[in-house]
Amino acid sequence: MSTIQRSLAIIKPDAVAKGVMGQIITRIEQAGLKILAVRLIHMAHDEAAGFYAVHRERAFFASLCTFMTQGPCLTMVLEGENAIQRWRDLMGATDFRKAAPKTIRADFASSIEANAVHGSDSPESAAIEIPYFFSALEIHPR
């Protein structure tokens, strides 16, 4: 059964600062995921807090919002067969010390917080996260 999905992806400020945007985009393209939209943004604190609202009760929430606003990040919409899980497989585990070898987090994360990338965790999350950053006119199916 074909399940074409979309995922929000973010190259977080730590990875942008390290200069590995291109390497991460290459992995996305080599995996056969299509990039339908892309924008470099520098989030304000309220924008990061809104994006991560599901985590607002967590002990790391304030620190996470500060981290996400420390510099620009690259937001993207990815599309493909089973795209949500495939992108998370490329990312690796949240904690880079537990991430499988050759995953993006194993290769580029600096800490459990500064872990290089974000990916939607379900179709329901993707449906909220994609329009948080992109209007329909900015998404280019092909």
Active site residues: 118
Closest separation in Å from C-beta 140 to Mg ion: 25
Which residue type sits at 61? F
Considering the complex, what minimum distance in angstroms separates the CB of residue 121 from Mg ion? 5
Nearer to ligand ADP by Cβ, of 89 and 121: the residue is 121
In a 3-state reduction of DSSP, which class is residue 76? strand
112 binds, among ligand ADP, Mg ion, none (CB under 5 to 8 A by kind): ligand ADP
Pick the closer one to ligand ADP by CB: 100 or 140.
100
Question: How many residues of this chain interact with Mg ion, rule: CB under 5 A?
Answer: 1
Stretch that binds Mg ion, among 16-24, 72-80, 100-108, 116-124 (CB under 5 A): 116-124
Q: What are phi and psi of 134, to 5 degrees?
A: -130, 135
CA-CA-CA-CA dihedral for 118, 114, 138, 125, to nearest 10: 30
5 within 8 A of 123, measured Cβ to Cβ: yes
Shortest separation between residue 69's beta carbon and ligand ADP, angstroms: 13
Judged by CB, which is closer to Mg ion: 24, or 135? 24
- Of the candidates 23, 39, 29, the one whose C-alpha atom is nearest the C-alpha of residue 102 is 23
3-state DSSP assignment of residue 116: coil
Identify the CA nearest to 130 among candidates 4, 3, 9: 9
Residues that bind ligand ADP (CB under 6 A): 55, 60, 64, 94, 112-113, 115, 118, 121
Q: What residues line the site for Mg ion (CB under 5 A)?
A: 121
